[in-house]
Protein backbone atom coordinates (compact mmCIF):
# COMPACT_ATOMS: atom_id res chain seq x y z
CA UNK A 1 0.00 0.00 0.00
CA UNK A 2 2.86 2.39 -0.68
CA UNK A 3 1.84 5.83 -1.87
CA UNK A 4 3.47 5.71 -5.25
CA UNK A 5 2.05 8.11 -7.74
CA UNK A 6 1.64 5.40 -10.36
CA UNK A 7 -1.40 3.98 -8.61
CA UNK A 8 -4.51 4.53 -10.67
CA UNK A 9 -6.98 4.42 -7.83
CA UNK A 10 -6.23 4.92 -4.20
CA UNK A 11 -8.96 4.75 -1.58
CA UNK A 12 -7.99 5.91 1.87
CA UNK A 13 -10.40 4.90 4.60
CA UNK A 14 -13.38 5.73 2.45
CA UNK A 15 -16.67 5.98 4.24
CA UNK A 16 -20.06 6.47 2.71
CA UNK A 17 -23.02 6.82 5.00
CA UNK A 18 -26.55 7.56 3.98
CA UNK A 19 -28.89 9.45 6.19
CA UNK A 20 -32.10 7.49 6.22
CA UNK A 21 -34.21 9.79 8.34
CA UNK A 22 -35.41 9.34 11.85
CA UNK A 23 -36.48 6.13 13.37
CA UNK A 24 -40.19 5.93 13.97
CA UNK A 25 -40.93 7.94 17.08
CA UNK A 26 -43.70 5.68 18.32
CA UNK A 27 -41.50 2.62 18.45
CA UNK A 28 -38.14 3.98 19.45
CA UNK A 29 -39.03 6.88 21.69
CA UNK A 30 -37.63 10.19 20.53
CA UNK A 31 -36.56 8.82 17.17
CA UNK A 32 -32.87 9.43 16.67
CA UNK A 33 -31.29 10.07 13.30
CA UNK A 34 -30.34 6.83 11.65
CA UNK A 35 -27.39 6.30 9.40
CA UNK A 36 -26.64 3.54 6.99
CA UNK A 37 -22.95 2.93 6.51
CA UNK A 38 -22.67 1.53 3.00
CA UNK A 39 -18.88 1.78 3.11
CA UNK A 40 -16.91 1.90 6.30
CA UNK A 41 -13.19 2.49 6.17
CA UNK A 42 -12.30 0.96 2.81
CA UNK A 43 -8.65 1.04 1.82
CA UNK A 44 -7.81 -0.08 -1.67
CA UNK A 45 -5.32 0.55 -4.43
CA UNK A 46 -5.50 -0.30 -8.09
CA UNK A 47 -2.20 -0.33 -9.92
CA UNK A 48 -1.72 -0.06 -13.68
CA UNK A 49 -2.40 -3.32 -15.48
CA UNK A 50 -3.72 -5.00 -12.38
CA UNK A 51 -6.94 -6.96 -12.15
CA UNK A 52 -8.93 -6.80 -8.95
CA UNK A 53 -12.08 -8.69 -8.05
CA UNK A 54 -14.54 -7.28 -5.54
CA UNK A 55 -16.64 -10.09 -4.14
CA UNK A 56 -19.34 -10.34 -1.53
CA UNK A 57 -23.06 -10.87 -1.14
CA UNK A 58 -25.73 -8.35 -2.07
CA UNK A 59 -25.59 -5.59 0.49
CA UNK A 60 -21.87 -5.87 1.08
CA UNK A 61 -21.15 -2.48 -0.47
CA UNK A 62 -19.63 -3.55 -3.77
CA UNK A 63 -21.81 -1.31 -5.86
CA UNK A 64 -21.37 1.70 -3.57
CA UNK A 65 -17.63 1.22 -3.81
CA UNK A 66 -17.94 1.17 -7.58
CA UNK A 67 -19.95 4.39 -7.51
CA UNK A 68 -17.22 6.02 -5.45
CA UNK A 69 -14.56 4.84 -7.90
CA UNK A 70 -16.51 6.32 -10.79
CA UNK A 71 -17.09 9.61 -9.03
CA UNK A 72 -20.86 9.08 -9.09
CA UNK A 73 -21.02 9.60 -5.38
CA UNK A 74 -18.62 11.36 -3.05
CA UNK A 75 -17.39 9.63 0.07
CA UNK A 76 -18.68 11.13 3.32
CA UNK A 77 -15.27 10.61 4.86
CA UNK A 78 -11.83 9.51 3.74
CA UNK A 79 -10.30 10.13 0.34
CA UNK A 80 -10.90 8.53 -3.01
CA UNK A 81 -8.06 9.38 -5.38
CA UNK A 82 -7.64 8.87 -9.10
CA UNK A 83 -4.02 9.42 -10.08
CA UNK A 84 -3.53 11.26 -6.78
CA UNK A 85 -6.46 13.61 -7.34
CA UNK A 86 -9.72 13.61 -5.44
CA UNK A 87 -12.26 11.93 -7.76
CA UNK A 88 -15.25 13.93 -6.60
CA UNK A 89 -13.43 17.20 -7.20
CA UNK A 90 -12.11 16.55 -10.69
CA UNK A 91 -12.83 19.47 -12.98
CA UNK A 92 -12.16 20.61 -16.52
CA UNK A 93 -9.43 18.69 -18.31
CA UNK A 94 -8.92 16.33 -15.38
CA UNK A 95 -12.57 15.41 -15.45
CA UNK A 96 -12.44 14.76 -19.21
CA UNK A 97 -9.36 12.68 -18.83
CA UNK A 98 -11.03 10.70 -16.06
CA UNK A 99 -14.07 10.07 -18.27
CA UNK A 100 -11.79 8.79 -21.03
CA UNK A 101 -9.58 6.80 -18.77
CA UNK A 102 -12.15 4.95 -16.71
CA UNK A 103 -14.73 2.90 -18.58
CA UNK A 104 -17.64 1.08 -17.08
CA UNK A 105 -19.31 -2.09 -18.27
CA UNK A 106 -22.75 -2.15 -16.72
CA UNK A 107 -24.48 -5.11 -15.19
CA UNK A 108 -27.49 -4.72 -17.44
CA UNK A 109 -25.77 -4.28 -20.79
CA UNK A 110 -28.98 -4.07 -22.76
CA UNK A 111 -30.38 -1.44 -20.43
CA UNK A 112 -27.18 0.58 -20.67
CA UNK A 113 -27.37 0.89 -24.45
CA UNK A 114 -29.87 3.20 -26.15
CA UNK A 115 -32.20 0.94 -28.18
CA UNK A 116 -32.68 3.68 -30.78
CA UNK A 117 -29.02 3.87 -31.68
CA UNK A 118 -27.27 1.51 -34.03
CA UNK A 119 -24.26 -0.46 -32.90
CA UNK A 120 -22.10 1.90 -34.96
CA UNK A 121 -23.39 4.97 -33.13
CA UNK A 122 -23.24 3.29 -29.75
CA UNK A 123 -19.62 2.28 -30.10
CA UNK A 124 -18.65 5.56 -31.78
CA UNK A 125 -20.32 7.75 -29.18
CA UNK A 126 -17.32 7.88 -26.83
CA UNK A 127 -15.07 8.60 -29.84
CA UNK A 128 -17.31 11.46 -30.95
CA UNK A 129 -17.77 12.80 -27.45
CA UNK A 130 -14.09 13.00 -26.69
CA UNK A 131 -13.16 13.98 -30.24
CA UNK A 132 -10.84 11.01 -30.54
CA UNK A 133 -11.40 10.13 -34.13
CA UNK A 134 -11.82 12.07 -37.37
CA UNK A 135 -15.23 11.59 -38.94
CA UNK A 136 -13.76 9.75 -41.93
CA UNK A 137 -12.10 7.08 -39.82
CA UNK A 138 -15.10 6.49 -37.61
CA UNK A 139 -16.39 3.37 -39.34
CA UNK A 140 -12.96 1.79 -39.48
CA UNK A 141 -12.33 2.44 -35.81
CA UNK A 142 -15.68 0.93 -34.87
CA UNK A 143 -15.06 -2.05 -37.13
CA UNK A 144 -11.70 -2.59 -35.44
CA UNK A 145 -13.29 -2.35 -31.98
CA UNK A 146 -16.00 -4.81 -32.92
CA UNK A 147 -13.43 -7.20 -34.27
CA UNK A 148 -11.54 -6.89 -30.99
CA UNK A 149 -14.58 -8.18 -29.11
CA UNK A 150 -15.31 -10.87 -31.65
CA UNK A 151 -18.18 -9.32 -33.56
CA UNK A 152 -18.39 -9.01 -37.35
CA UNK A 153 -18.29 -5.50 -38.83
CA UNK A 154 -21.68 -6.11 -40.47
CA UNK A 155 -23.21 -5.77 -37.03
CA UNK A 156 -22.65 -2.00 -37.17
CA UNK A 157 -25.99 -1.27 -38.77
CA UNK A 158 -28.01 -3.31 -36.30
CA UNK A 159 -29.97 -2.24 -33.26
CA UNK A 160 -29.42 -3.94 -29.92
CA UNK A 161 -32.90 -5.47 -30.02
CA UNK A 162 -31.67 -7.67 -32.86
CA UNK A 163 -28.72 -8.99 -30.87
CA UNK A 164 -28.44 -11.87 -28.43
CA UNK A 165 -27.52 -11.38 -24.78
CA UNK A 166 -23.91 -12.32 -25.41
CA UNK A 167 -23.64 -10.03 -28.42
CA UNK A 168 -25.08 -7.10 -26.47
CA UNK A 169 -22.43 -7.59 -23.78
CA UNK A 170 -19.77 -7.59 -26.46
CA UNK A 171 -21.09 -4.31 -27.84
CA UNK A 172 -20.98 -2.87 -24.32
CA UNK A 173 -17.36 -4.00 -23.99
CA UNK A 174 -16.46 -2.50 -27.38
CA UNK A 175 -18.06 0.78 -26.33
CA UNK A 176 -16.12 0.74 -23.07
CA UNK A 177 -12.87 0.16 -24.95
CA UNK A 178 -13.54 2.90 -27.49
CA UNK A 179 -11.83 5.70 -25.61
CA UNK A 180 -8.78 3.51 -24.99
CA UNK A 181 -9.20 3.59 -21.20
CA UNK A 182 -6.59 2.58 -18.67
CA UNK A 183 -9.17 1.06 -16.31
CA UNK A 184 -12.18 -1.08 -17.05
CA UNK A 185 -14.72 -1.29 -14.27
CA UNK A 186 -17.26 -4.07 -14.67
CA UNK A 187 -20.29 -4.67 -12.49
CA UNK A 188 -21.44 -8.32 -12.68
CA UNK A 189 -20.73 -8.12 -16.40
CA UNK A 190 -21.20 -11.83 -17.04
CA UNK A 191 -24.05 -12.75 -14.73
CA UNK A 192 -27.34 -14.04 -16.01
CA UNK A 193 -25.87 -15.60 -19.12
CA UNK A 194 -25.58 -19.17 -20.31
CA UNK A 195 -22.41 -20.82 -19.07
CA UNK A 196 -21.08 -21.09 -22.61
CA UNK A 197 -21.65 -17.39 -23.34
CA UNK A 198 -20.21 -16.50 -19.96
CA UNK A 199 -17.10 -18.55 -20.67
CA UNK A 200 -16.59 -16.80 -24.01
CA UNK A 201 -16.92 -13.36 -22.45
CA UNK A 202 -14.59 -14.18 -19.58
CA UNK A 203 -11.98 -15.42 -21.99
CA UNK A 204 -12.42 -12.25 -24.04
CA UNK A 205 -12.10 -10.00 -20.99
CA UNK A 206 -9.01 -11.80 -19.78
CA UNK A 207 -7.36 -11.61 -23.19
CA UNK A 208 -8.22 -7.92 -23.51
CA UNK A 209 -6.91 -7.16 -20.08
CA UNK A 210 -3.65 -8.98 -20.71
CA UNK A 211 -3.09 -7.76 -24.27
CA UNK A 212 -4.00 -4.14 -23.72
CA UNK A 213 -2.54 -3.87 -20.24
CA UNK A 214 -5.63 -2.17 -18.88
CA UNK A 215 -6.50 -2.45 -15.21
CA UNK A 216 -9.68 -4.27 -14.43
CA UNK A 217 -11.94 -3.86 -11.44
CA UNK A 218 -14.49 -6.64 -11.59
CA UNK A 219 -17.46 -6.93 -9.30
CA UNK A 220 -18.83 -10.43 -8.98
CA UNK A 221 -20.33 -12.79 -6.48
CA UNK A 222 -18.94 -15.82 -8.29
CA UNK A 223 -15.59 -16.86 -6.86
CA UNK A 224 -14.84 -19.00 -9.91
CA UNK A 225 -15.12 -15.90 -12.08
CA UNK A 226 -12.93 -13.93 -9.68
CA UNK A 227 -10.28 -16.64 -9.68
CA UNK A 228 -10.22 -16.92 -13.43
CA UNK A 229 -10.13 -13.24 -14.21
CA UNK A 230 -8.35 -11.42 -11.42
CA UNK A 231 -4.92 -11.56 -9.80
CA UNK A 232 -6.11 -9.80 -6.69
CA UNK A 233 -9.28 -10.14 -4.71
CA UNK A 234 -11.02 -8.09 -2.05
CA UNK A 235 -13.78 -9.83 -0.13
CA UNK A 236 -16.37 -7.42 1.22
CA UNK A 237 -18.84 -7.79 4.03
CA UNK A 238 -21.19 -5.07 5.24
CA UNK A 239 -19.25 -2.18 3.82
CA UNK A 240 -15.80 -3.39 4.76
CA UNK A 241 -13.05 -5.32 3.12
CA UNK A 242 -12.63 -8.36 5.34
CA UNK A 243 -9.91 -10.11 3.39
CA UNK A 244 -7.69 -9.16 0.49
CA UNK A 245 -4.63 -10.53 -1.27
CA UNK A 246 -3.58 -12.54 -4.29
CA UNK A 247 -6.67 -14.37 -5.52
CA UNK A 248 -5.13 -17.83 -5.61
CA UNK A 249 -3.68 -17.53 -2.13
CA UNK A 250 -6.84 -16.15 -0.63
CA UNK A 251 -9.00 -18.79 -2.23
CA UNK A 252 -6.75 -21.76 -1.56
CA UNK A 253 -6.11 -20.82 2.07
CA UNK A 254 -8.68 -18.31 3.30
CA UNK A 255 -7.92 -16.60 6.59
CA UNK A 256 -11.36 -15.13 7.16
CA UNK A 257 -14.25 -17.46 7.98
CA UNK A 258 -16.46 -15.44 5.65
CA UNK A 259 -14.18 -16.12 2.70
CA UNK A 260 -14.28 -19.80 3.57
CA UNK A 261 -18.06 -19.69 3.77
CA UNK A 262 -18.26 -18.12 0.32
CA UNK A 263 -15.93 -20.81 -0.99
CA UNK A 264 -18.01 -23.57 0.53
CA UNK A 265 -21.15 -22.15 -0.97
CA UNK A 266 -19.90 -22.16 -4.56
CA UNK A 267 -20.88 -25.28 -6.48
CA UNK A 268 -18.17 -27.91 -6.87
CA UNK A 269 -18.43 -31.03 -8.98
CA UNK A 270 -19.53 -34.12 -7.05
CA UNK A 271 -18.91 -32.56 -3.65
CA UNK A 272 -21.80 -32.82 -1.23
CA UNK A 273 -23.55 -29.49 -0.81
CA UNK A 274 -21.76 -27.85 2.09
CA UNK A 275 -23.49 -26.71 5.24
CA UNK A 276 -24.63 -23.28 4.16
CA UNK A 277 -23.82 -20.10 5.99
CA UNK A 278 -26.75 -19.44 8.31
CA UNK A 279 -28.98 -16.44 7.80
CA UNK A 280 -28.52 -13.50 5.50
CA UNK A 281 -26.34 -10.44 5.49
CA UNK A 282 -27.77 -8.27 8.31
CA UNK A 283 -29.08 -4.77 7.86
CA UNK A 284 -26.30 -2.16 7.84
CA UNK A 285 -28.44 0.09 10.03
CA UNK A 286 -27.49 0.14 13.72
CA UNK A 287 -24.71 -2.40 13.48
CA UNK A 288 -23.78 -4.25 16.64
CA UNK A 289 -20.41 -3.53 18.12
CA UNK A 290 -17.78 -6.16 17.65
CA UNK A 291 -17.13 -8.06 14.45
CA UNK A 292 -19.91 -7.58 11.89
CA UNK A 293 -19.73 -11.16 10.80
CA UNK A 294 -19.88 -12.62 14.32
CA UNK A 295 -23.62 -13.31 14.14
CA UNK A 296 -23.19 -15.74 11.25
CA UNK A 297 -19.69 -16.99 11.99
CA UNK A 298 -19.21 -20.57 13.14
CA UNK A 299 -15.83 -19.65 14.63
CA UNK A 300 -17.09 -16.68 16.64
CA UNK A 301 -15.98 -16.48 20.27
CA UNK A 302 -16.94 -14.10 23.03
CA UNK A 303 -14.38 -11.44 22.20
CA UNK A 304 -15.62 -11.33 18.57
CA UNK A 305 -18.86 -9.82 19.80
CA UNK A 306 -17.00 -7.11 21.71
CA UNK A 307 -14.03 -6.08 19.61
CA UNK A 308 -14.33 -4.90 16.04
CA UNK A 309 -11.30 -6.35 14.23
CA UNK A 310 -9.30 -4.00 12.02
CA UNK A 311 -7.90 -5.06 8.68
CA UNK A 312 -4.37 -6.15 9.47
CA UNK A 313 -1.72 -6.89 6.93
CA UNK A 314 0.24 -10.11 6.82
CA UNK A 315 2.66 -9.87 3.92
CA UNK A 316 0.66 -9.38 0.74
CA UNK A 317 -2.49 -10.50 2.52
CA UNK A 318 -4.71 -8.60 4.85
CA UNK A 319 -7.70 -9.73 6.84
CA UNK A 320 -10.00 -8.42 9.51
CA UNK A 321 -10.49 -11.25 11.95
CA UNK A 322 -9.54 -11.83 15.56
CA UNK A 323 -9.25 -15.58 15.12
CA UNK A 324 -8.14 -16.23 11.57
CA UNK A 325 -8.32 -19.73 10.18
CA UNK A 326 -5.23 -21.91 10.23
CA UNK A 327 -3.42 -21.83 6.96
CA UNK A 328 0.07 -22.30 5.64
CA UNK A 329 2.28 -19.27 6.21
CA UNK A 330 1.86 -16.75 3.44
CA UNK A 331 4.84 -16.62 1.17
CA UNK A 332 6.87 -13.45 0.72
Partner 1 sequence: MAAALAIPRSDPAGATPAAAPADALLRVENLSLTRGEKLILDDVSFALKRGATLALVGESGAGKSTIALALIGLLARPQVGLDGRMLFDGADLATSSERDWLRLRGRRISMIFQDASSALNPCFTVGAQLMTPLRRLLGLSKAQARKRAVELLEGVGLSDAESRLDAYPHQLSGGMQQRVMIAIALSTNPELLLADEPTSALDVTIQAQIVRLILDETRKRGASCIFVLHDLALASQACDEIVVLYGGQVMEAGPAETVLREPLHPYTVGLKACVLEIDTEELEPLPSGSPSFASKRPGCRFAPRCASALEKCAGEKPPLIETRGRRLACWNPVA
Of residues 162 and 306, the one with the C-beta less far from partner 1: 162
Question: Binding of partner 1 at residue 224 (CB under 8 A)?
Answer: yes
**Binding segment for partner 1 among 73-81, 119-127, 269-277, 299-307 (CB under 8 A)?**
269-277
Q: Residue 78: CB partners within 8 Å, gap ≥ 6?
A: 11, 12, 13, 14, 15, 41, 42
Nearer to partner 1, 7 or 188 (CB): 188
β strands within the chain, DSSP E: 9-22, 33-46, 51-55, 77-82, 85-86, 102-105, 183-187, 215-220, 232-237, 240-246, 312-314, 317-319
**Does 273 help bind partner 1 (rule: CB under 8 A)?**
yes
Our CB check for partner 1 shows the closer of 112 and 220 to be 220
Cα end-to-end span (Å), the chain:
15
79: contact with partner 1 by CB under 8 A: no
CB of 185 to partner 1, least distance (A): 21
Rounded to the nearest whole angstrom, what is the least distance from the CB of residue 281 to partner 1 in the complex? 8
Cα separation of 143 and 133, whole Å? 13
Q: Does 266 bind partner 1 (CB under 8 A)?
A: yes
Asked if 294 touches partner 1 (CB under 8 A), the answer is no
Which is nearer to partner 1, 29 or 276 (by Cβ)? 276
Among 223, 294, 297, 318, binds partner 1 (CB under 8 A): 223
Instruction: For residue 224, report the phi and psi dihedrals to the nearest 5 degrees.
Output: -60, -45
Strands 102-105 and 183-187: parallel
Nearer to partner 1, 160 or 198 (CB): 198
Nearest to 259 by CA among 88, 121, 55: 55
- Quote the least distance from Cβ 224 to partner 1, whole Å: 3
DSSP3 helix / strand / coil % (the chain, rounded to 5): 35, 25, 40
Q: Is 221 in the site for partner 1 (CB under 8 A)?
A: yes
Burial (CB < 10 A; 0-12, 13-18, 19+), residue 161, is exposed
- Range in contact with partner 1 (rule: CB under 8 A) among 26-34, 98-106, 275-283, 299-307: 275-283
Question: Under the rule (CB under 8 A), what is the footprint of partner 1?
Answer: 57-58, 164, 166, 192, 194-200, 202-203, 221-225, 227-228, 251-252, 261-274, 276-277, 280
Amino acid sequence: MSATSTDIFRLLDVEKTYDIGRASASLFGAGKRRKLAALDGVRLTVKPGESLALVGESGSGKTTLLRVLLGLTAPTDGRALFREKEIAELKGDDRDRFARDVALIYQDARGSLNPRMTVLDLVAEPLDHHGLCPRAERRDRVAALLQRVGLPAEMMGRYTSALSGGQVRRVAIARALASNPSVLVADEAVSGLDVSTQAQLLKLLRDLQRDMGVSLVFITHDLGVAAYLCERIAVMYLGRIVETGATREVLTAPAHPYTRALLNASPKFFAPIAEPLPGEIPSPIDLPKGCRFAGRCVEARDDCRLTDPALRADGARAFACLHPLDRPRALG
